[in-house]
Amino acid sequence: MMQYIIIAAMIGFVYFFYIKKKPSKVSSTQKDTKTKPQANDMIECSTCQVYSALDECILSSGKYYCSQECVEKAR
């Protein structure tokens, strides 16, 4: 009976340390791309809450605005 326990423990050891795939580590560049908005993302204006494309938005004081009017309203 003790032989079966030892064999099962050895099989478990081999499985957990050699066969089972470990989760792949995400590089820092992949983490950054998920948090930073991309050029085709829609961003909400901080003043009027209208969504517009990121490449059309104005970034001022760390906030996105849809137009110069909204930037001036926020000041």
Task: Supply the pLDDT for residue 8.
Answer: 93
Task: Supply the pLDDT for residue 27.
Answer: 55
For residue 58, the surrounding DSSP H or E stretch is strand 58-60
Residue ranges per domain, the chain?
A: 2-74
How high is the mean pLDDT in each 10-residue block of the chain (75 residues)?
90 79 58 63 88 87 89 86
Straight-line distance from the first to the last Cα atom of the chain, in angstroms, rounded to the nearest whole number: 79
Task: Supply the pLDDT for residue 62.
Answer: 86
Task: Supply the pLDDT for residue 53.
Answer: 87
Please choose, from the candidates 54, 52, 51, 58, the residue with its C-alpha nearest in 3D space to the C-alpha of residue 39. Answer: 54
Are the beta carbons of 7 and 15 closer than 8 angstroms? Answer: no
Task: Supply the pLDDT for residue 7.
Answer: 92
